Amino acid sequence: MSTKDFIEKDYYKVLGVPKDATEAEIKKAYRKLARENHPDANKGNAKAEERFKEISEANDVLGDPKKRKEYDEARALFGNGGFRPGPGAGGGSFNFDLSDLFGGGAQGSGGGSGGFGGGIGDVFGGLFNRGSSGTTRVQPRRGQDIDTEVSLSFTEAIEGATVPLRMSSQAPCKACSGTGDANGNPRVCPTCVGTGQVARGSGGGFSLTDPCPDCKGRGLIAENPCEVCKGSGRAKSSRTMQVRIPAGVSDGQRIRLRGKGAPGERGGPAGDLYVTVHVSAHPVFGRKGDNLTVTVPVTFAEAALGGEVRVPTLGGPSVTLKLPPGTPNGRTMRARGKGAVRKDGTRGDLLVTVEVSVPADVTGKARDALEAYREATAGEDPRAELFKAAKGA
């Protein structure tokens, strides 16, 4: 029988004994009724058979001091059959019906106020949210958000990458289906009657609650604690997920992947996964937003006379840039569409900065030519403008 039976059935009435009946009185009442309604004495009498079952069930509970205490507490909390959450689950053992708790078997029948469609979990939730600021444990819960990090190469960050992410999160223990009980059949905590909360006191119409100390707020007690999770019902689950990192992410960026976090509980949605991206530096290319940068050495002759310069691109064929005559050192030019991928799929540009390289050692013909160049330009003072400006200010 389930907790629902507790709420619905008045076993005292079934046995015809007062609520404060002694064990002996209960035994006596049961024996008398069992004799009267025994199937052997009432062959073919369906009504008597039904009554006999009822009596046995009542005696199972009231005849066992421990079960009787739990029953009394449940009824004290929920009133004497004031509402009927649904048809009883039946069955012989005195265990909580987990399908109710986890929202598995929704049962919409019964009378009452009609709002108890989802089984006993909803009944608990409905009761305990009324006038209470605390939430109950038996409602669907969204999975946790998970933070993780990933390291990408420079190229992966530009092009996007699918990377394996190993994540550990809290999930229902697989060995015991999250019940914490080795047989998958935990008992309702008699202290809190499955709510996971105990009243601390009340004031101003609000009842304050604490997590139940006996079940640590779970609402369930495992008689045979699951060895895998030590009765907590929770497990660390490690899983490797293939996660698609979009193209164009930059170092330090935090990406949110909806619904890739920890799984929800009792039908709740999964949390989100946040991935902080680390991007390693590239020996040649740099990054400025959607644009890539590269510094290209040119000779003095190329800068002064102009020329065609080959420039490498990231992951593609090189491009040729036309250097106009008289290109100053440090000028930046633009190779369109050779940059990082933007959100819309287009690409930024490659910003090419020319750097005039000065040979460390000039010999032979080149030296003769440079000496000749020096003579030819002897009359020019490249610092004339500098000194004029310095004085003028």
List of residues contacting Zn ion (CB under 5 A): 173, 175-176, 189, 191-192, 212, 214-215, 226, 228-229
| CB 3, CB 86: distance < 8 Å | no
Which C-beta is closer to Zn ion: that of 157 or that of 176?
176
Q: Least Å distance between CB 234 and Zn ion?
A: 8
Ligand-binding site membership of 368 (annotated): no
Is 190 annotated in some ligand binding site? Answer: no
Rounded Cα distance between 170 and 178, Å, is: 11
Q: CB-wise, 225 or 286, nearer to Zn ion? A: 225
293 is in an annotated binding site: no
> Of 347, 321, 342, which is closest to residue 332 (Cα–Cα)?
321
Closer residue to Zn ion in complex, CB, 191/327: 191
What's the closest the beta carbon of residue 146 comes to Zn ion, in angstroms?
21
When the beta carbons of 142 and 216 are compared against Zn ion, the nearer one is 216
Report the b/e string of 307-326 with b at 16+ CB within 10 A. bebebbbbeeeebebebeee
Q: How far is CA 350 from CA 135, 337, 345, in A?
A: 55, 7, 16
Task: Give the dihedral sign, CA 162/166/169/172.
Answer: positive
The reply to whether 173 sits in an annotated binding site is yes
Report, in Å, the least distance between residue 344 CB and Zn ion: 48
Task: Report, in Å, the least distance between residue 51 CB and Zn ion.
Answer: 34
**Smallest separation (angstroms) from Zn ion to the CB of 203:** 23
How many Cβ atoms sit within 10 Å of the Cβ of residue 198? 18
Q: Rounded distance, CA 180 to CA 132, Å?
A: 27
CB nearer Zn ion, residue 192 or residue 341: 192
Q: Between 146 and 212, whose beta carbon lies closer to Zn ion?
A: 212
Backbone angles phi, psi at 203, to 5 degrees: -160, 135
Which of 155, 177 has the CB closer to Zn ion?
Answer: 177
Q: Smallest distance from the beta carbon of 313 to Zn ion, in angstroms? A: 55
Is 189 annotated as a binding-site member? yes
Q: Is 255 annotated as a binding residue?
A: no
Instruction: Classify residue 159 by burial, with Cβ atoms within 10 Å: 0-12, 13-18, 19+.
Output: middle
- Separation between Cα atoms, residue 358 and residue 373, nearest integer Å: 15
Residues with Cβ within 8 Å of residue 287, at least 6 apart in sequence: 154, 158, 250, 293, 340
Closest separation in Å from C-beta 192 to Zn ion: 3
CA pair distance 309, 332, nearest whole angstrom: 13
Tally of CB atoms within 10 A around 187: 18
Instruction: Establish whether 391 is an annotated binding residue.
Output: no
Closer to Zn ion by CB, 176 or 292: give it.
176
- 28 marked among binding-site residues: no
CB 211 → Zn ion: shortest distance, Å? 8
* CA–CA distance, 276 with 361 (Å, rounded to integer): 48
Rounded Cα gap, residues 95 and 24, in angstroms: 25
Other C-beta atoms within 10 Å of 371: how many? Answer: 11
- Annotated binding residues, written as ranges, equal 173, 176, 189, 192, 212, 215, 226, 229
Binding residues for Zn(2+): 173, 176, 189, 192, 212, 215, 226, 229
